[in-house]
């Protein structure tokens, strides 16, 4: 036990009371300095971040303006090309090209031929005419041979093969 100002206090308490202010005094400036440093760093970081952000926004803004201008230009180009296309599809241009460049002249009135729909009418009138082809001779194409009679089948087979080759033009 120790005696302090006539009072008896435990030794540990004396040490504790005598050491605590000293430690506190020793730690406070460092702690404050560190706090200030941290705050400064944080503020710097925040400001840097803000500056970076502002800078990137500004850059993006200018980029946006540039892209918008470019878009407008492409839209204008597109419109002008559409006009050019419309002019190329116009009757005036088609007619002038047909007459001046290709030397075309106005044709006579078209001729219409009635094509009957029913089989009977078709056979009787114009279907035969429309189906007529210069190369389609009345020669009958041999039927494909069946395997019933080998000899006859062989001759039929030869005839069939020759008809395939001969029929092509």
Partner 1 sequence: MRTYPSVEQTQRWRLLLIGLAVTTFAGLILQRLFWYQVTDRERFVALANEEHQERRPLAPARGALLDTNGHPIALNVMYDAVYVYRPALTSLDRAVTVLTAATGKTRDQVMDAIQRADKQWTLLASRLPANAASQIASAGLSGVELRSLPAREYPEGSLAAQVLGFVGADGSGLSGLELTLDDALAGKPGVVVTEGDTEGDEIAIGRKALIPPVPGSDVVLTIDRYIQRVAERELDRAVQANKATGGIVIVMNPTTGAVLAMATNPTFSLTSGAPLEASEQQLYKPVVVTDTYEPGSVMKLMTAAAGVEEGVVTPDSRYHDNGLALINGVPIRNWDGGAYGDVTVREILVHSLNTGAQWIAGLLGPDRFYRYIEAFGFGAPTGIQLNGEAAGSFRRNTDPGWSALDLATNSFGQSISVTPIQMITAIAALGNHGILMKPQIVKEIRGPDGVKRFDPQPVRSVVSDRTAETMLNMMESVWNQPALSAVHIAGYRLAAKSGTADIPAPNGYSTGKTYASFAGFAPLPNPRFVILVRIDRPEAIYGGVVAAPVFRAIASEILTYMQIPPTDVKVPPVDATAGQDRSDLAAADRPSR
List residues binding partner 1 (CB under 8 A). Answer: 54, 57-58, 61-62, 64-65, 72-73, 75-77, 79-80, 82-83, 86-87, 89-92, 109-114, 116, 124-126, 128-130, 132, 134
Gap between the Cα atoms of 113 and 127, Å rounded: 10
Neighbours of 31 (CB within 10 A): 11
The CB-of-47 to partner 1 minimum distance in angstroms stands at 16
Is 32 or 58 the residue whose CB approaches partner 1 more closely?
A: 58
Is 106 or 168 the residue whose CB approaches partner 1 more closely?
A: 106
The CB-of-143 to partner 1 minimum distance in angstroms stands at 24
Is 66 or 143 the residue whose CB approaches partner 1 more closely?
A: 66
Is 21 or 108 the residue whose CB approaches partner 1 more closely?
A: 108
Pair 125, 113: CB distance under 8 Å: no
The CB-of-91 to partner 1 minimum distance in angstroms stands at 5
Pair 98, 88: CB distance under 8 Å: no
Helices (H), 89-149: 91-96, 119-124, 127-131
The CB-of-12 to partner 1 minimum distance in angstroms stands at 53
**C-alpha distances in angstroms, 58 versus 48, 64, 66, 72, 74?**
15, 10, 12, 21, 24
């Amino acid at each position: 036990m120790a005696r302090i100002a006539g009072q008896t206090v435990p030794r540990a308490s004396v040490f504790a009371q005598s050491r605590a202010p000293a430690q506190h005094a020793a730690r406070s400036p460092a702690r404050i300095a560190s706090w200030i440093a941290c705050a400064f760093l944080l503020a710097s970081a925040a400001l840097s971040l803000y500056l970076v952000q502002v800078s990137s926004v500004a850059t993006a803004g200018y980029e946006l303006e540039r892209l918008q201008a470019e878009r407008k230009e492409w839209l204008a180009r597109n419109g002008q090309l559409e006009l050019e296309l419309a002019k190329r599809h116009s009757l005036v241009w088609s007619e002038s090209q047909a007459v001046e460049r290709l030397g075309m002249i106005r044709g006579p009135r078209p001729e219409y031929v009635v094509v009957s729909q029913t089989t009977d009418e078709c056979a009787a009138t114009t279907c035969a005419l429309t189906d007529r082809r210069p190369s389609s001779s009345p020669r009958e194409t041999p039927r494909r041979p069946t395997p019933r009679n080998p000899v006859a089948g062989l001759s039929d087979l030869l005839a069939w093969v020759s008809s395939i080759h001969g029929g092509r033009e």
